[in-house]
């Protein structure tokens, strides 16, 4: 199956359907940021107290432990003890997810980036970070045949990135560490579809992005990771305050199931990659390569706090939130591993 793209001559050309999948999968968090809405709280609706509602924002390789637990019905097994059933929800973006939290429509959400939970807390939505699904590495990608070899070569270059995202934050941090300030390069925002085209025809010099877009570009040989440009991102489990206080035993079992699923992913990499590939409708070889950039043993510890806080401050400095969000006291509280 082929979909319409544009070649380097500006003509219509065929774009591989696999790339279409990556284009779709890469939009969720960016769309959530660009469409951020401060939702009014809705009138109270009747909630089935016998149901645990677990969601994800879009799809992500970093959700592999969730996919494994869901496939193996581990959530159902854990909550059946209390007479609870499980509902699974998928949110298109951060705004929809936070709207659901605000209106008691979901109990826990797997979120592949810090942005949604920081925005939630800035809006005084009562949620907290309950755990880490994984950490993973973002990369600064350059065209496959480019003469760019080191970070120093990025001066005066044109780079694709999404403003106000972890890609934006990590790009500034990585280039800034080499003495390259934002005024020393130019940035533009493109859809994943247009970014793929730009990297293929080398009309752009770099792209700050993440899995599985990275691995697709590497395996298709149209872009490669710039050495020493990677940066760590936390994929999180975010939970409503009221779920922990109102169903404390179920909350403890939720954390147990997720931690056991992380161990299962480590010990059953091929099976986990196959499950994740099915969820993302991606080839297994792309996902297996993406797994190499993921740490399933990552924990919610002091190191995590120290990496998260600068990003929260960055969102404030970019005026995406109007207040300082303190990761330790407001979002992690007493939940460090």
Cα 26 to Cα 70, 145, 211, 310, 333: the distances in Å are: 22, 24, 9, 24, 31
Question: Is residue 259, in this structure, part of any structural domain at all?
Answer: yes
User: 108 with 76, same domain?
Assistant: yes
The pLDDT of residue 183:
95
Residue 25 covered by a domain: no
HEC readout, 278-303: HHHCCCHHHHHHHHCCEECCCCCCHH
Helix axis angle for 269-280 and 64-71, nearest 10°, is 90
In a domain, 294, yes or no: yes
> Nearest Cα to 173, choosing from 265, 311, 275?
311
User: Which pLDDT value is given to residue 221?
Assistant: 97
User: DSSP states of 149-172 as a string?
Assistant: -SGGGGTT-EEE--TTSHHHHHHH
Which pLDDT score is estimated for 164?
87
pLDDT tens by residue, 9-28: 333 333 454 554 554 444 44
Residue 337 in any domain: the answer is: no
Residue 53 makes CB contacts below 8 A (sequence gap 6+) with 86, 87, 89, 105, 106, 107, 108
- Say if residue 116 is in the same domain as residue 150: no
The pLDDT, as a whole number, for residue 49 is 74
CA distance 164 to 44: 33
Are both 147 and 92 inside the same structural domain?
Answer: no
55-109 per-position pLDDT tens digit: 999 999 999 999 999 999 999 999 999 999 999 999 999 999 999 999 999 999 9
Residue 303 sits in a domain whose CATH number is 3.40.190.10
Q: Are 151 and 228 in contact (CB under 8 A)?
A: yes
Q: Which two tokens stand for residue 37?
A: 């809405």
Q: How far is CA 325 from CA 130, 208, 334, in A?
A: 16, 25, 16
Return the bridge partners of 239, or none.
108, 128
Domain check: are 205 and 250 in the same one? no
Residue 8 lies in a domain: no
**How far is C-alpha 211 from the geometric centre of its chain's CA atoms?**
9
> Are 126 and 144 contained in the same domain?
no
- What was the pLDDT predicted at 11? 36
196 and 249 housed in the same domain: no
Question: In which domain, by residue range, is 277 found?
Answer: 33-135+235-332
Same domain, 39 and 128: yes
> Residue 134 is encoded by which pair of tokens?
């994984």
Query: Does residue 315 belong to any structural domain of this protein?
Result: yes
pLDDT band at residue 268, thresholds of 50, 70 and 90?
very high
Same domain assignment for residues 114 and 253: yes
Q: pTM, whole model, 2 decimals?
A: 0.86
Give the torsion through C-alpha atoms of 298, 325, 95, 139, to 10 deg. -40
Instruction: Note the pLDDT of residue 14.
Output: 36
Same domain, 328 and 239: yes
pLDDT digits (tens, 9 = 90+) for 185-214: 999 999 999 999 999 999 999 999 999 999
- Give percent of the chain with pLDDT exceeding 70: 86
Q: For residue 254, is it within any domain?
A: yes
Each residue's pLDDT tens digit, 165-180: 999 999 999 999 999 9
Question: Based on the domain organization, do 310 and 222 belong to the same domain?
Answer: no
Mean of pLDDT over the chain: 88
Query: Does residue 208 sit in the same domain as residue 68?
Result: no
Domain shared by 242 and 126, yes or no: yes
Query: At which of 210, 232, 254 does a domain end?
Result: 232
Residue 12 lies inside a defined structural domain of this protein: no
Cα-Cα-Cα-Cα dihedral of 247, 67, 35, 321, to 10°?
60
Q: How far is CA 311 from CA 118, 135, 165, 232, in A?
A: 9, 15, 9, 11
Q: Which of 171, 49, 165, 170 is nearest to 112 (CA)?
A: 165
C-alpha distances (whole Å) from 278 to each of 217, 229, 287 are 20, 30, 10
**For residue 328, what pLDDT is reported?**
94
**Where does a domain end: 232, 260, 278?**
232
State yes or no: pLDDT of 32 exceeds 50: no
Q: List the one residue out of 138, 78, 72, 137 whose CA is nearest residue 108.
A: 78
Domain count along the chain: 2
Q: Which of 182, 216, 232 finishes a domain?
A: 232
**List of residues 6+ apart from 309 with CB closer than 8 A:** 326, 327, 328
């Amino acid at each position: 199956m082929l979909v319409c793209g544009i070649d380097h001559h500006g003509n219509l050309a065929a774009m591989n359907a696999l790339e279409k999948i990556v284009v779709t999968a890469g939009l969720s968090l960016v769309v959530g940021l660009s469409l951020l809405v401060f939702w009014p709280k809705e009138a109270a609706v009747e909630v089935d107290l016998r149901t645990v509602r677990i969601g994800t924002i879009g799809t992500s390789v970093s959700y592999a432990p969730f996919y494994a637990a869901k496939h193996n019905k581990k959530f159902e097994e854990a909550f059946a003890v209390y007479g609870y059933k499980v509902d699974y929800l998928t949110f298109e973006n951060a705004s929809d997810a936070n709207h659901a939290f605000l209106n008691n429509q979901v109990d826990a959400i797997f979120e592949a980036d810090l942005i949604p939970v920081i925005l939630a807390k800035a809006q005084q939505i009562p949620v907290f970070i309950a755990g880490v699904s994984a950490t993973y590495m973002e990369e600064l990608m350059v065209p496959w045949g480019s003469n760019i070899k080191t970070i120093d070569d990025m001066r005066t270059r044109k780079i694709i990135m999404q403003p106000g995202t972890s890609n934006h934050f990590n790009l500034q941090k990585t280039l800034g560490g080499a003495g390259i300030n934002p005024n020393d390069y130019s940035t533009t925002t493109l859809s994943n579809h247009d970014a793929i085209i730009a990297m293929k025809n080398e009309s752009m010099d770099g792209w700050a992005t993440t899995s599985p877009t990275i691995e697709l570009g590497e395996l298709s040989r149209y872009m490669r990771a710039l050495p020493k440009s990677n940066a760590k991102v936390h994929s999180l489990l975010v939970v409503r305050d009221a779920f922990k206080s109102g169903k404390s035993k179920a909350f403890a079992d939720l954390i147990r199931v997720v931690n056991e699923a992380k161990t299962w992913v480590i010990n059953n990499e091929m099976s986990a990659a196959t499950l994740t590939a099915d969820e993302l409708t991606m080839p297994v070889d792309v996902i297996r390569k993406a797994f190499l950039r993921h740490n399933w043993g990552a924990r919610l510890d002091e190191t995590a706090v120290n990496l998260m806080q600068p990003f929260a401050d960055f969102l404030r400095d970019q005026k995406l939130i109007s207040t300082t969000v303190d990761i330790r006291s407001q979002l992690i509280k007493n939940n460090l591993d």
